[in-house]
Structure 1
Amino acid sequence: MTGLRLGPLLRYVDQDTATVWVETEAPCQAEVHCEGSTAGGTARTWQVAGHHYALITVVGLEPGTETPYRVTLDGEQVWPLAGSPFPTSTIRTLPPPDAPPARTPPLRIAFGSCRWAARPAGARHDPMGPDALDALAHRAMNGGPRPDVLLLLGDQVYADETSEPVRARLARHRDLSRPPWDQVADYEEYTELYYESWLDPEVRWLMSTVPSCMIFDDHDVIDDWNTSEAWQRGIRATDWWRERILGGLSSYWVYQHLGNLSPAELAEDPVFAAVRAADDGAPPLRAFAERADQDPAAARWSYRRDFGRTRLVMIDTRAARVLPESERRMVDDEEFDWLHAQVLDGGPGAVDHLVLGTSLPWLLPPAVHGLETWNTALCSGARGTRWSSFSEKLRQRADLEHWSAFPRSFRALTELIQRVATDQDAPASVNVISGDVHHAYVAEPEFDDLKVAGGGQRSRVVQLTCSPIHNNIPAVMRSGFRFGWSRAGRRLGRLLERHARTGEPALRWNRTGGPWFGNMLMTLTLHGRDATYQLEQARPATSAPDGTPRSGLEPVFSGRLSGTEPAAPPSRDKS
């Protein structure tokens, strides 16, 4: 009997179709059976470097329903696991597109980033505390509310910070005293990270029953990935980087990216077709990864998902970068044209809510924003070569590579958001959701001087940041982020911008919540033109009947972005 190695992961779901991803122990026919329904799907596995996978398209589902399912391999049931204590996994489809809000449930989007599956060896951080994904799973399996979709905004795995068990497995095959030392080296070693992360029993069950959308950030490959042209030039000169980046991009494509796509997009994907047609899909996949690394325009990792009248556009802020100092941009021109087209598709009134997913926040603590703007100007020679050399070292050491470190792209994204928010029949809310910075906050831009086309109502625009899911930062960095939001931090940011002669900032914003620290998830709830959000922190909770400790989610902060209730007044804490 062929066994199930990893999964199932429920990925894409719409009104009548879903995709389910699995990794198996050997080649086989994988099938999803929907209980009490004629819906289902089947797929033959395909191989990459000795590992076998299937992405099963489930068809025939009814809109607005919840359907239990099971998975068989060559006719033998492998999911639910024998003796499983968890509820049966289900597929919950979206309501019919023409259903009125009064007859549809709210759409709940939970999001966060930065999850250590296990504590890295030698970590000096404070104790991590409970895993927010575990806490969400515990609540859902006990009948509590669960999201309709889970957005994982980067650092799903840490290729550069491995745990003791992973390091022990790596040491069986190579000498860890040689580069890349105890970090992962290639595709095979990346698979160890996904097993460690997604075989956690509670997380495995959660991801089998809650659809997920994902995007990478730096630690999925390496800290500071594509920070600058100088960084890229230096790492490409090493003798171990090529296998690392090819393994990182290839494994991301298999384990994360494919599930972000709709069945129609998968059917038109030439790389997916080539991998499935090959005896071993590793060569065509490696060739694709090589092209993607050398030329950002050769691959698109960004994607769009529509959930009724809510649109999610997930933006790749790592692999799409243009790094030469004179051309420096977060995404290349072709990618930004695509983003523009996806956001504006359908014209005014096409959506009630726009969600822009970006692993790196658009609006940062003011001191950090000013520091990154200053640093970028100095790196490009605004104060001479001595400042330029110092600033490049600072940029790499301090991770100064968010949207504010790409001023041209920051302005372009700001202008796009302004256009959407002030268009006739604008969405009720425009939400930029992010992670990365290991604290949570809410920030809102000042657009008060902008006129709305046709005299309509302007969108409520917010930056919602939630990180980490399961990680921590030293106390000194917590103090640094608090300072970054303070009045003194704002003043410092402005002084740095004046020193670099960058001119007036393109935007000012208010902090309306936070900062908060700890392992957290944020949930954005959308219903008609109503929009609310809630931040929850993972806390230790009572033990299960068998004595196993369980974590819980405790509300920390909530707010209303649009709807019949008045929104919370903005903070006076301005950038």
Structure 2
Amino acid sequence: MQLQITSPLGPILILDDIEAGRMHLSALFIAARGEAVAPLDAPHGPVPPAPLAHYDRATVWRARFALPADRPSQYRWNGTTYEVAGDLTGDLRIAYVSCNGEEIGDLSREGSERNAMWARLGDEHRRRPCALLLHGGDQVYADEVTKGHDLSRDWPERVARDPAPAALADLEHHLRERFLERYVAIYGAPEFAWLAARVPSLMQWDDHDICDGWGSLPASRTESPVGQTLFAVARESFLVFQHAAADGDLPARFADPEGRHLGWTVDGPDLRILAPDLRSERTRRRVMGPGGWAMMDNEARRDTRGHTLLLSSVPLLGPRLSLLETLLVLIPRMQKYEDDLRDQWQSRAHRDEWRRMLRLVRDLARRDGHDITAISGEIHLAGRAAMDLGDGLHLNQLVASGIAHRAPPKAWARVLGALARLGEDPLPEHPIRVERLPGQRTRYVAERNYLLLERDAGGWSARWELEASGTTQPLTL
């Protein structure tokens, strides 16, 4: 792909934090290098964008400003007025998306096909506006960025053991430019761009934002100089393009200002959005490291009001994937899928950690006195599950995946549904049930989809928008 930016891309709204009744926002722009970006007209006056990152042919710019969090408002840029729903105090609507791409050939897909569900979400926003847009992982599919360089072209099958510093520097440059190309293509899509300029986004990463299976690959790959270079560039790109941030300049919602892990929390009126980082500290033997667990333990001790939305990029509740994992290991030609299953909380390698997380979620719910809703993507299907937490409380797991990734065969949904019938109770005193979506005959639905979360008169509900089946009936949470 030959990068061409004929006019600035943006604005793309990122929610930095909510404080004192105001939404603190960043507006992201991508312009041709050497081209200035016009000031943004905020309610308190003009805000000139500042450079955030430089590339060979482009510069990323950011303008930080604030809007009210208790009523609709607007801002202007380059002659266009952008309406922002913004009222987080009463009835509220939040959209959730994940898996915005595909592993192979994503940049060459025809735009209206690729972004059909983005267009549908835009139409839904016009009908009844969304106040926030949550992205649950795999916002880009970066699997092909390693192609075209001698050090990474065979990643992860073959990795150079001791590359020269100059070669690694050249690889870093190659990867930065390839990541830029992917973000330009995705953010420049009109279906996405229209919505992203009007609805503040909050993003959480998953493996494809780095490479397929990052953290579940062998340490000989991820800890190698090539692997560490790939992770460093992916992490920089994640901060720049998905958070409008850089090291030393993270928004206040991040739990670790040093960025050793990238988990974050946002507190709104009677709402907590909690997004642990399931990638930065991941290895084949753990999902989260010391920083991630410290964040979650702190949240379990913190007094909050209202509903908690827990973003878990891989589903926290689901079928007995450990059984499938065991079978695949025994079949040589299927072992290539082992990394995909090791990515899951239900993997045999993570079972103790999974129990720890479920107990922590139970404690969160009991301290807050409210049900908790976990929202996930990753599996390219729509689905839901529930766990009885005791004391009349429940953990609801909603899966919406993906908005652009084409659906897998329906047979895969049936396999997962069959595994779900076997049951999976890592905490025997808290049984898990994999349920059907409202109006659906199967437990998992193999259609592209997104999720709408709605608070009406203090009560929460969820609806899935399915590409072929349409909108489900609301599910009370």
Q: TM-score range by the shorter chain?
A: 0.7 to 0.9
- CA gap of 1:121–1:251, structure 2 versus 1, over 3 A, is closer
Q: Is it true that 1:156 corresponds to 2:72 in the alignment?
A: no
Q: Is this contact kept in 1: 2:90–2:458, CA < 8 A?
A: no
Report the Cα offset of residue 465 of structure 1. Answer: 0.6
SS at match of 1:54: strand
- CA gap of 1:420–1:179, structure 2 versus 1, over 3 A, is closer
Cα offsets for 1:130-170 (capped at 9, x unmatched): 63212111343xx31132111111111111158xxxx9xx8
Report the Cα offset of residue 205 of structure 1. Answer: 1.2
Counterpart residue type for residue 140 of structure 2: V
Report the Cα offset of residue 306 of structure 1. Answer: 1.3
- CA gap of 1:178–1:329, structure 2 versus 1, over 3 A, is closer
Aligned pairs (5 A) from 1:360-509: 360-366=314-320, 368-372=321-325, 393=335, 396=338, 398-405=340-347, 406-423=350-367, 426-427=369-370, 429-447=371-389, 450=390, 452=391, 458-475=392-409, 478-486=410-418, 490-491=421-422, 507-509=430-432
- CA gap of 1:523–1:371, structure 2 versus 1, over 3 A, is same
TM score, norm. by length of structure 1 = 0.67
Counterpart residue type for residue 518 of structure 1: E
Aligned pairs (5 A) from 1:339-378: 339-345=296-302, 347=303, 350-366=304-320, 368-372=321-325
Aligned pairs (5 A) from 1:11-50: 11-12=14-15, 14=18, 15-16=21-22, 17-25=24-32, 26=34, 28=36, 31-34=39-42, 37-50=43-56
Report the Cα offset of residue 119 of structure 1. Answer: 7.3
Report the Cα offset of residue 510 of structure 1. Answer: 1.1
The partner residue of 1:511 within 427, 434, 438 is 434
- CA gap of 1:369–1:146, structure 2 versus 1, over 3 A, is farther
Aligned CA-pair RMSD:
3.9
SS at match of 1:403: coil
CA distance in 2, matches of 1:150, 1:27: 29
**Paired residue for 1:332?**
289
The partner residue of 2:82 within 89, 97, 103 is 89
Counterpart residue type for residue 274 of structure 2: V
Identity of aligned residues (%): 21
CA distance in 2, matches of 1:47, 1:219: 22
Cα offsets for 1:15-59 (capped at 9, x unmatched): 33322122233364652203xx43553342243344423322214
Q: Which runs of 5+ in 1 are unaligned?
A: 72-76, 81-87, 96-103, 271-297, 380-386, 453-457, 498-502, 540-552, 562-575
CA distance in 2, matches of 1:342, 1:3: 45
CA distance in 2, matches of 1:352, 1:205: 31
CA distance in 1, matches of 2:267, 2:333: 41
Report the Cα offset of residue 398 of structure 1. Answer: 4.7
CA distance in 2, matches of 1:177, 1:227: 18
Report the Cα offset of residue 404 of structure 1. Answer: 1.4
CA distance in 2, matches of 1:132, 1:511: 25
**Paired residue for 1:292?**
none
Report the Cα offset of residue 331 of structure 1. Answer: 0.6
**Paired residue for 1:559?**
475
Q: Is this contact kept in 2: 1:31–1:41, CA < 8 A?
A: yes
The partner residue of 1:246 within 213, 216, 232 is 232
The partner residue of 1:145 within 128, 148, 154 is 128
**Paired residue for 1:526?**
455
SS at match of 2:139: coil
Q: Is this contact kept in 1: 2:407–2:448, CA < 8 A?
A: no
Q: Is this contact kept in 1: 2:377–2:400, CA < 8 A?
A: yes
- CA gap of 1:252–1:461, structure 2 versus 1, over 3 A, is same
Q: Is this contact kept in 2: 1:536–1:554, CA < 8 A?
A: yes
Cα offsets for 1:482-521 (capped at 9, x unmatched): 23223x6644x77xx9xxxxx9867531122231121111
- CA gap of 1:341–1:24, structure 2 versus 1, over 3 A, is same
Q: Which of structures 1 and 2 has the bigger CA Rg?
A: 1
Q: Is this contact kept in 1: 2:14–2:25, CA < 8 A?
A: yes
May I ask how many residue pairs the two structures share in their alignment? 439
- CA gap of 1:332–1:43, structure 2 versus 1, over 3 A, is same
CA distance in 1, matches of 2:452, 2:54: 35
SS at match of 1:516: coil
CA distance in 2, matches of 1:65, 1:252: 30
Cα offsets for 1:202-236 (capped at 9, x unmatched): 210110000111111111111111115xx231355
Q: Is this contact kept in 2: 1:4–1:22, CA < 8 A?
A: no
Q: Is it true that 1:55 corresponds to 2:55 in the alignment?
A: no
- CA gap of 1:511–1:481, structure 2 versus 1, over 3 A, is same
CA distance in 1, matches of 2:69, 2:222: 49
Report the Cα offset of residue 338 of structure 1. Answer: 1.0
- CA gap of 1:518–1:151, structure 2 versus 1, over 3 A, is same
- CA gap of 1:28–1:122, structure 2 versus 1, over 3 A, is closer
Aligned pairs (5 A) from 1:194-343: 194-228=183-217, 231-234=218-221, 236-237=223-224, 240-258=226-244, 264=252, 299-323=260-284, 328-343=285-300
